[in-house]
Chain A
Amino acid sequence: MPWKKIIYNYKGSSASFLDDVLADVTTYVTDQSIHGDDAWQLMRNESWPYGTVLKVPNYQENEYGYIGLMADKIRVGSSYWNWLKQDDVLRKEFALSKKGLGLADNTDFTINNGVVTLYSKNPYDVKVGIKKLPNGKEEEIYSKNYSFTARDSYTFSPTPDIFAKDANVLFFTMFKQYQPEFDWSELMGNERASIQAKALKYYNTYRGQTYPSFLDPPLYPGVGCPAIGYSPDYFDFSKNECSQDDKEKAITVYLYKDRHRLIIVINWQEHWDVASVGFFEAFDTQSEYPFPAMALGGTSGALPITELCSYNGTPQVEHGFRLDYTEKNWSLSHGIPTFASTWWNGSNTFLDSYMYSQVQAMLPNGNWQSFANFGLQQDAYYYHDRGQYYSAHKEPERISGARYYLTPNFTDLSTVKNIYPSGVANIAYLNDVATENCSTYQLEPLYFVANTAENTNQNLLGKIKNIYWSSQQVTRYGIHEKDGATYLVLPNGWVNRKFHIKNFFSVLQGESQSNERQIAEIERLDKLSRCMNCVIKLSE
């Protein structure tokens, strides 16, 4: 199958990078001279909130799906609120929504710059004419009119936001049908459940409310879908151009496309991101699993946070997550599909309903489902001696109660050479030619797994084609050739990434831990870190 390597060099601003990638992807996947009958059809190519839509063949003849790609420039403090405070959005997501105010049809209210005000209606009569009665007398005719008195006024504070950092983002999803008038959120088959990001707060200012009401953040168009994202100035070279050589400037993008799916890999220096969107290989037949859509991104954006809030003078710690799509997000929600992670509040109920990760597939019932192998949390420690709170990332946990995950899914892969017995089909082997002893990796395919509700049976839904986990530590990343096939080996986000960085080793726990124990901890994490690799097969 065809693949392509594109190199970008930005001498000044790189703000257009993801737009440029999107343009190149669109040109490439629709090129009939490369793909012949497998070339996709471009339905539209528009900016946020509409996005780019490509018509893609499903497995059965005359059955299609639509791949969605959308670039957006997210700015903390403005993007989300400017979207949410639009009358149409605030009416649907807050004023009339049962999750928000849940106003009845006949409630009189107005929306003005994000403030929802409710009114009481006061009737008064207006004389509209005089009627002559048969007895010669006159009767005045009245019409009932109404004046309004404000009775409740709902204001958001602080300015609502679901984002934690400025980012330029490329979102990925699949649609079932295409209707030109609909934006990204409205297109059919893109419905996503709440991601349970940290709640927005609002107050009834008319009643002098001091403890906030909470609103589950409505999904800004694009949010909820896997993505690749960067800080707006991440690739800029305007400041120190002369000190950078061409190799350092080069951002390399690899595109792989076959009839049903697209893989994008972006590499700059030691930083790698991967995304894939299209149809996976379902193990059920087409009639049993008619729309096996998947969307895998380099990041879900989830960044666990804790905030110290104070209401009526009482401080309290709030946990949750907001979205940081940039390279700076070092939680496992940003990384390769094999280590897909969700924010987690610690309960299995949460996992059943609200799992949100960078690996998503559409279940046979038509719902998008995130698949995750690790849960992310953040904690707050109260340090008595200093009278201060510290927040710390907890170590990512294997979420054993999760119903939807990916295999292979071992926590510690460092001693594993083979998961499946040799001789099993679909398993390729790859030599690391850079190492002196030329060790052999087993390439483990990635499968979507669904547990039954009782957690007694596991069902393999299907295989993510061409993306593998390598069973041993990798020493050289990039293109590998073996037996005429081309492979791309990449780390989890960046080279030498740690599975987890312990917070406050010395400050909080150092007193109670021996140095031997701390060193053992570091070695344990190092071993885990070495497992975080991904291999992509670019050609047969």
Chain B
Amino acid sequence: MAYTVYEKLGGPNDVLEKIRDFLVDKGFTVLNNCTSDLDINGSGVNDGNVLAVKKKDIYAVFRSANGKVIFSNQQNSNQAYGIGLTCATNYTVNPPSGQWFDQPNVVVNTAQSPIGVGIPVKQSENYRLYCNYVDDPAIMVVLSLELEKGIFQHLAFGETQKVGTWNGGTIFSGSKNSYNMFPTSWDVEQIAVGSNHLFGMSSNPSTFLRIDVDAAPLRQNPVLWATTGPATGACSTGKILGSPLTNLDSLGASWFPKVPHYAYLQSQTVSDYGRNVNTLNCISVNLPIALYIQRDPDSLMNFSQVGYVPAVYAISMRNIAPASCYEISYPKSGNLHQVFPHVKRAGMFGYDGISIMQ
């Protein structure tokens, strides 16, 4: 399916409405249609809107931030403009606490505080929003907001393309997690600082997978979600999810899972094209994003592969412009993929990018 692009966007509420329009068009059921929501810290002010959607087993809840924090533990409240996303296994319009993220089996950190992912959104004049939806081999939605020309932040959610049979499957990811989502300032150099590779490993993870793994759901505080980072931290769930994509500074960390990774193929510096581009004939290869889960007992750091992120691949952006489509399988296949940098082409992650099946 072809992507949809929205231009001349306003602030967080406007971007949220465009996301709603896109998801409705793709057959999602709307459970909460951008209704206005009270400040989570009880000031009594409406400071953002809630959008909740459902398709198959996927429950995704979005919340726009317009000056106030939207999760319990967030930094940079002075720049609190953006969109947060979390996923659950059901949805209620009137949660007991009154807080939008207080949903059944929602993602929580090891301190039992609901967490999620998020992106900063400028108060006005966001450049463009690209929306991708794929339902074969599994459902995947990728929302790519271009805040300034060339600077991207992504939100993605969908279901895992499973290997084997297991309970769960909802996966979601963002350029930043809920703790980090607001920037320290709106300077172009600062907007993206703290970003991760979409679906990548990070010491501040921002990818979550719903999975019943071994005895984790039966623990005193059930662990229902795994995340692509260390077992402890502001956005850690207690179970590690392994992905081949990674922020390079995580590679040497003690918690880094011993699973096949692309760190050596990725861009090593701002001007390094990475080893996933064939400069002889200018072809970039689509590398699949496999998912691995930490097994009990955690201390052994054993991992099993559980599936793939559907329709999204790791690539080098050397030969391809951001948001452009290219035909895979040289010389002619008719199969188009749209490509994005994780943040910025030739930026902090060099030429690392993602390619989304159309």
Contacts and interface: CB of A to CB of B under 8 A. Distances in A.
Interface of A: 62, 87-88, 91-93, 96-98, 105-106, 108-111, 121, 126, 128-131, 141, 143-146, 148, 176-177, 179-182, 186, 188-189, 191, 290-291, 365-366
23 contacts: A62-B331, A91-B189, A92-B270, A96-B269, A96-B347, A97-B270, A98-B269, A98-B271, A105-B348, A105-B349, A129-B39, A141-B41, A144-B75, A146-B76, A148-B184, A176-B281, A179-B319, A179-B320, A181-B322, A188-B282, A189-B279, A291-B280, A366-B279
Contacts of A180: 321
A121 B74 contact: no
B184 A109 contact: no
A129 B185 contact: no
A181 B324 CA distance: 8
Interface string B243-257: 000010100000000
Given A88-B150, A146-B184, A188-B318, A176 B282 contact: yes
B319 A144 contact: no
Contacts of B270: 91-92, 96-97
Q: Which of B76, B270, B271 has its CB near the most chain A CB atoms (within 10 A)? A: B270
B346 interface: yes
A121 B184 contact: yes
A181 B150 CA distance: 12
A146 B347 CA distance: 23
A106 B69 contact: no
Contact of B346 (A92, A130, A146): A92
Main secondary structure of the interface of B (DSSP, over half): loop
Interface string B209-227: 0000000000000000000
B77 A145 contact: yes
Contacts of A129: 39-43
B77 A128 contact: yes
A189 B347 CA distance: 21
A153 B325 CA distance: 40
A180 B42 CA distance: 51
A88 B151 CA distance: 11
Nearest to B195: A105
Given A97-B271, A143-B69, A148-B184, 19 more contacts: A91-B270, A92-B346, A97-B270, A105-B193, A106-B193, A106-B194, A108-B189, A108-B193, A121-B184, A126-B78, A143-B77, A144-B75, A146-B76, A179-B319, A179-B320, A179-B321, A181-B321, A186-B321, A290-B280
B184 A97 contact: no
Contacts of A111: 189
B220 to A, nearest CB: 19
A182 B346 CA distance: 13
Given A108-B190, A366-B280, A188 B77 contact: no
Contacts of A91: 189, 270, 347
Contact of B78 (A62, A110, A145): A145
B189 A109 contact: yes
B25 interface: no
B20 interface: no
Closest 3 pairs (CB-CB, A-B): A129-B41, A181-B321, A143-B77
A474 B247 CA distance: 64
Interface string B290-333: 00000000000000000000000000001111101000000100
Nearest to A121: B184
B150 A145 contact: no
A96 B272 CA distance: 11
B54 interface: no
Contacts of A141: 41, 72
Contacts of B39: 129
Nearest to B41: A129
Contact of A92 (B188, B190, B271): B271
Contacts of B271: 92-93, 97-98
B193 A143 contact: no
Q: Which of A98, A105, A144, A365 has its CB near the most chain B CB atoms (within 10 A)? A: A105
A53 to B, nearest CB: 14
A85 to B, nearest CB: 14
Interface of B: 39-43, 68-69, 72, 74-78, 80, 150, 184-185, 187-190, 193-194, 247, 249, 269-271, 279-282, 318-322, 324, 331, 346-349
Nearest to A132: B42
Contacts of B320: 179
Nearest to A88: B150
Nearest to A367: B279
Contacts of A130: 41-42
Contact of A365 (B249, B280, B322, B346): B280
A189 B277 CA distance: 12
B179 to A, nearest CB: 9
Nearest to B323: A181
Nearest to B76: A145
A121 B188 CA distance: 17
Q: Which of B68, B150, B271 has its CB near the most chain A CB atoms (within 10 A)? A: B271
B73 to A, nearest CB: 8
Given A91-B347, A110-B189, A143 B75 contact: yes
Nearest to B40: A129
Contacts of A179: 319-321, 324
A144 B348 contact: no
Contacts of A186: 321
Contact of A148 (B185, B282, B318, B349): B185
B143 to A, nearest CB: 21
A148 B249 CA distance: 24
B230 to A, nearest CB: 17
B101 to A, nearest CB: 15
Nearest to B271: A97
Contacts of A145: 75-78, 184
A110 B186 CA distance: 11
Contacts of A189: 279, 282
Nearest to A99: B271
A92 B69 CA distance: 33
Contact of B269 (A97, A108, A109): A97
A98 B270 CA distance: 8
B319 A188 contact: yes
A249 to B, nearest CB: 44
A93 B346 CA distance: 10
A73 B251 CA distance: 47
Contacts of B324: 179, 181
Nearest to A182: B321
A440 to B, nearest CB: 44
B321 A144 contact: no
B282 to A, nearest CB: 4
A538 to B, nearest CB: 34
Nearest to B343: A105
A446 to B, nearest CB: 26
A424 B138 CA distance: 66
A137 to B, nearest CB: 15
A181 B326 CA distance: 12
B319 A177 contact: yes
A177 B282 contact: yes
Contact of B69 (A87, A128, A365): A128
Nearest to B73: A143
Contacts of A62: 331
A524 to B, nearest CB: 45
Nearest to A364: B280
B191 to A, nearest CB: 12
B247 to A, nearest CB: 8
A483 to B, nearest CB: 42
A128 B41 contact: yes
A106 B348 CA distance: 9
A182 B271 CA distance: 16
A487 B28 CA distance: 72
A177 to B, nearest CB: 5
